[in-house]
A and B are shown apart, each in its own frame.
Chain A
């Protein structure tokens, strides 16, 4: 029994590990540039733990800040996947998009900058080396460079970008000027000291060149294309995709419908499944091929096609496939099949709620109903395929049926977080 189960589990984890996880910068939860948020999502630590780690690491020669800057450059941005139907609707002005307020983020940035400068002041107090003494200047230059880099991120109004770049450049320039003025503040000292100052001045000039390079580095690393180019390409792609899809799906179905126009049941079935499929494609309901929701949808699509019954599915939450969820989906399939065959109802409601702790499904019909005791022992459907299957994985089944009113089957399965972590 045990070995059989673990065997099954391995099979599932193998099929799931095909996708290589990549780290992205996540702008949706970003305070600065989404590096910490992205790493948190990637490593499954909490965002704040990662942020604190970066800040703490910065106490040692700014390594945290430098690492952050490098990751900012290297990690690609996670682009938000907008379903093609929504893109099309938006472009035709069929929907209103309310811009998301960015004020919490701005507050986050200001806060981070203040903390950075504060830390620099503390370092200046205790660290007497050249870097320590110039910590404030270095952190200001860092913030300036950061501001200019930020203008590359989309989702900002144009004036915001302009203000940020001007502010960033001014900051870097002010620090440079201040340092230069500091070097030449006293005149008329001996040659050696003048020589030393001249050398330091060269050093400053070199450093500022590095900073200037840093300012334009993102544009070199990820060459920015003009917005219009992107837009045009997107439109072209969208059109091509749209045409291809319509041809493959809707046109084909329409052709079949014309052929079978004498069979109203078949026509409505075809229309219904095509409507579902098109809606899924347009509005991106089909989120993940390996998720509980998509498995349920596939099962329902299959049963609807073979049993001429309408199944209304509502889902809340989702989870990647596990052996437990697989059991729930199979049990649900059996329950829907039973309802379709025996209840006589023309519509079946399926509601699934999936959280990280629990998967639940309710299968309900308003058909003839039955008495549990009257079910023949030889009818294996409900006992073996539903109740026993669920019990094997630690789940339970609750059947409520009233003769003449209908049946509701409630499947409930606890999900073990440890067991699903390997996916």
Chain B
């Protein structure tokens, strides 16, 4: 990647040690332009710096990652959830609130950089764990807060893709397995993400009401 087109990243996490560690791991490939340690400082950093990608902890003082995305209100900023918390409910809530992916903090540096680039380019990043949560959420076996009964179902193709990702396949391997292109895999994953995020009619109406559309 050329020097001038490096992605600008803000890290929002309440553990200083982890922020330093992550910054150290990724700063050779992306520019870490700012940090936040809670909702207020995170929102301030995001609004001031307009980064390409925000690495966002799920649990944060002041209301969690969900609250940061709500308050920052910049639609062009992409969020990647980064967490040790594996409570399915919270991870799904964060995705539903707008994060484009979820990775665990034990992820390696190169994998994390790869995930950041993917998110920055507008794709979704589904780790095996998130794919598992999503399959669980759509089959109704974990409780997702305020989910409508008419939660859109996953198509059988999307389900297949989620299964393969949960089995540890990379996008390229999924593509080879299903005889489709990597681009098509990305399309499927993005459409799963969209279904998760817009499957709630109440949220949609609230979204519309907030913007005085209804």
Query: CB within 8 Å of B: which residues of A?
Result: 28, 83, 85-86, 89, 92-101, 275, 279, 282-285, 312, 314-318, 349, 351, 353, 362, 364, 408
Contact = CB atoms under 8 A, between A and B. Distances in A.
Nearest to B91: A283
A126 B141 CA distance: 47
B61 A94 contact: yes
B64 A95 contact: yes
A95 B128 contact: no
A349 B128 contact: yes
A315 B163 CA distance: 10
B87 A283 contact: yes
B199 interface: no
A315 B135 CA distance: 9
Given A86-B87, A95-B63, A353-B135, A100 B146 contact: yes
A220 to B, nearest CB: 33
B166 interface: yes
Nearest to B130: A314
B167 A408 contact: yes
Given A312-B168, A351-B167, A362-B167, A283 B136 contact: no
A96 B67 contact: yes
Given A349-B128, A362-B167, A98 B93 contact: yes
B93 A96 contact: yes
A255 B59 CA distance: 28
Contact of B163 (A96, A279, A353): A353
A252 to B, nearest CB: 20
B78 to A, nearest CB: 20
Contacts of A314: 128-129, 131-132, 166-167
Interface in B4-26: 14
A316 B128 contact: no
Contacts of A94: 14, 59-61, 63-64
Interface of B: 14, 58-64, 66-67, 84-87, 90, 93, 106, 128-129, 131-132, 135-136, 139, 141, 143, 145-146, 163, 166-169, 202
A95 B90 contact: yes
24 contacts: A28-B143, A89-B64, A93-B63, A95-B90, A95-B93, A96-B93, A97-B145, A275-B84, A275-B106, A279-B86, A283-B85, A312-B128, A314-B129, A314-B167, A315-B132, A316-B139, A316-B141, A317-B139, A317-B141, A318-B141, A351-B132, A362-B167, A364-B168, A408-B167
Nearest to A410: B167
Contacts of B58: 95
A312 B165 CA distance: 12
A79 to B, nearest CB: 15
Contacts of B90: 86, 95
A283 B166 CA distance: 20
Nearest to B63: A96
Contacts of A318: 141
B168 A101 contact: no
Contacts of B129: 312, 314
A93 B135 contact: no
B189 to A, nearest CB: 16
Contacts of A89: 59, 64, 85
B96 to A, nearest CB: 9
B52 to A, nearest CB: 25
A101 B146 contact: yes
